[in-house]
Amino acid sequence: MGKNSKKKDLCLVTGVQPEDYVHYDNRLRKPVCIKRIENGIEIGSMVVQGVDEIEYRRQRLKYFIPNNVAVLLSISEKAAYRGQELLMRFFKSDGVQLDVSKYDGNKIEFINHRSKEVCDYIENIQTSVVFAYTALEAFSNLSVPTGYEYVVEVKPKGTREVFNKEAIERWVPLRDKLTKILPGVYEARSPSTQRFWGHFVRLEKYRHDIIHQKSIDSTEFYKAYFMNDVFDVCAVAEKIIHFFYEQLSNNNRTNPLWPWMKNTTNHIPMINEYDPSWFEVLGDIHEGIGRK
């Protein structure tokens, strides 16, 4: 299937109507429901889901296409969950001795054990932070439509800088994408007005501290990971995407780039037009696919 494109993607028909679709994994790309409507009457419908394949061990491995944003969010969420488990088990549980001066056994061994636990915890928090931020970067870049232009007034020169999609992806900071570009793309409010925005500001800082460290022996930023709301910081990426999704779906708009959202009604993207030239039947999952 390839609307407005010469490229035809491999898809599998999984049902007739959206209610026929069985959701299996949040990391998969959403299907699309294509309806054929003539004179205002629906005369046909099908739900199709994108499939990809790879040659592996002399076999054709086929799988439903993952949603890149959802995979990044999943990595972040799992790392945060592991970090929370470690925090509760090694640092917050009743009876856990943290003060080496009050430990009666081998103090060097004690510090070594605690150091390993701290490193395990830091690994998971940093993984969660970096992938949460990357999920927002991917979501923002994918959201910008081809042909979109972002205009910035340069003061005091009185000139204008125009950024196309490629320039936006490369040069516009993520904070500006979220607050100045996506509200226009989705006809939505800015997330900077929401209570969770402070957690994004912290996520941004934590991510920059990891990626752009100024000194190899500067480890002060690790201590922030032991603040009470660090897991709210790790979870803010999904909250921001959910914020835009709610406004978009309220306007009866959605598209396949959106990941499956938790704790909300997920809408399957709809195309209310049909063109036979978009499709070529290649086979089925029972007999296999034979390309011409």
Residue 259 lies in a domain: no
Identify whether residues 206 and 280 lie together within a single domain.
no
Identify whether residues 109 and 99 lie together within a single domain.
yes
pLDDT confidence bin for 232, thresholds 50/70/90: very high
Identify whether residues 62 and 74 lie together within a single domain.
no
Residue 257 lies in a domain: no
Residue 5 lies in a domain: no
Task: Give dist(CA 48, CA 12) in Å, integer.
Answer: 5
Q: What's the pLDDT score for residue 110?
A: 94
Identify whether residues 196 and 239 lie together within a single domain.
yes
Identify whether residues 193 and 214 lie together within a single domain.
yes
Domain span at residue 16?
11-66+270-289
pLDDT(194) > 70: yes
Residue 261 lies in a domain: no
Identify whether residues 161 and 232 lie together within a single domain.
yes
Our CA dihedral for 63, 64, 66, 67, rounded to 10 degrees, sits at 170
Identify whether residues 58 and 203 lie together within a single domain.
no
pLDDT digits 0-9 by tens, 58-117: 898 999 999 999 999 999 999 999 999 999 999 998 888 899 999 999 999 999 999 999
pLDDT(280) > 80: no
Q: What's the pLDDT score for residue 257?
A: 83
Q: What's the pLDDT score for residue 292?
A: 45
pLDDT confidence bin for 289, thresholds 50/70/90: low
pTM: 0.88
Q: Which residue has the higher pLDDT, 43 or 78?
A: 78
Residue 154 lies in a domain: yes
Identify whether residues 161 and 49 lie together within a single domain.
no
Domain count, the chain: 2
> How far does the chain reach from its first CA to its final CA, in angstroms?
16
Residue 265 lies in a domain: no
pLDDT(254) > 70: no
Identify whether residues 123 and 158 lie together within a single domain.
yes
Q: Are 270 and 32 in contact (CB under 8 A)?
A: yes
Task: Give dist(CA 206, CA 198) in Å, integer.
Answer: 12
Q: What's the pLDDT score for residue 239?
A: 97
Using a 10 angstrom Cβ sphere, with 0-12 exposed, 13-18 middle and 19 or more buried, the burial of residue 14 is middle
Question: SS3 helix, strand, coil % of the chain, rounded to 5?
Answer: 45, 20, 35
Q: Are 65 and 52 in contact (CB under 8 A)?
A: yes
